[in-house]
Amino acid sequence: MTIVLLLIAVVLGLGGFTMLSDSTFFGILLIVVAFLLLVGSLRRKRKPDARRSVSVRRTPPATQRAKRRSKRRLRAVGNVEPICPHCDQRLEKKPGRKKKCPHCGDFIFVRTRPSDEQRVLVTEAEVEEIEEQWSIVNGTHDEYLAQKSRFARERVKLAQRFGREPTENDVRWSLLNQELIQHAKQENWGLFRNAKFEMAEILGQSLF
């Protein structure tokens, strides 16, 4: 329809210019009509084809699909209900942070598990499992394994130096000291500051 209107406008316009010499009024009239048809044809919007107006379901990005597949393969760790993961005794209410179980005295940790993203009560060993699961979901499992291996090597070195088994915070403190030196040499002051904050957290934990 748009092409037809354009052709009519062109024909009328040419006819109007031809008639200008014989009849100025009709010539101008034809030119004006041709101009209006031309403008109308250019502004005419094509109606969407009903056959093509079917909504298309968007496919999630490959990274999201990979995360969903990896989550389905993960073990559901921890207790969603207020039940101690050590002694299986029911608690008065579900804690929102690390606390000792009033029944067995062991520490209960609170984490978000990646399989369904629920907050669960876990043991310290299960904390490590959840951290590894998150590294699998986020695609950083290789980095996680490398960091874990580095932590194990540092633990052995400190045990030989101290003559006893070092605590978790001893190993973390030693590794953070190494990071401070590295960040200072590379002038990565943002990472240097982050390492200092982590060391401050370790000191805070030792005071309470």
53 has a pLDDT exceeding 50:
no
Reference 178, options 160, 158, 162; nearest CA is: 158
What pLDDT is stored for residue 59 in this prediction? 54
- Is the distance from CB of 97 to CB of 74 less than 8 angstroms? no
Report pLDDT digits (tens) over 87-134.
Answer: 999 999 999 999 999 999 999 999 999 989 999 999 999 999 999 999
64 has a pLDDT exceeding 90:
no
What pLDDT is stored for residue 151 in this prediction? 92
Report pLDDT digits (tens) over 136-195.
Answer: 989 999 999 999 999 999 999 999 999 999 998 999 999 999 999 999 999 999 999 999
55 has a pLDDT exceeding 50:
no
User: What residues pair up with 112 in beta bridges, in sequence order?
Assistant: 119
What pLDDT is stored for residue 204 in this prediction? 82
When mean pLDDT is compared across 26-30, 59-63, 69-73, 164-168, the lowest value belongs to 26-30
Banded model confidence at residue 73, pLDDT cuts 50, 70, 90: confident
Q: 160: phi > 0 → left, psi -120 to 50 → alpha, else beta; which?
A: alpha
User: What residues pair up with 109 in beta bridges, in sequence order?
Assistant: 122
| Between residues 116 and 70, the one the model is more confident about | 116
Beta carbons within 8 Å of 67's beta carbon, 6+ residues apart: 137, 138
Q: What is the mean pLDDT of residues 2-9?
A: 54
26 has a pLDDT exceeding 90:
no
What pLDDT is stored for residue 115 in this prediction? 87
- Is the distance from CB of 198 to CB of 172 less than 8 angstroms? yes
22 has a pLDDT exceeding 80:
no
C-beta neighbour count of 5 within 10 angstroms: 16
* Strand spans (E) along 118-194: 119-122
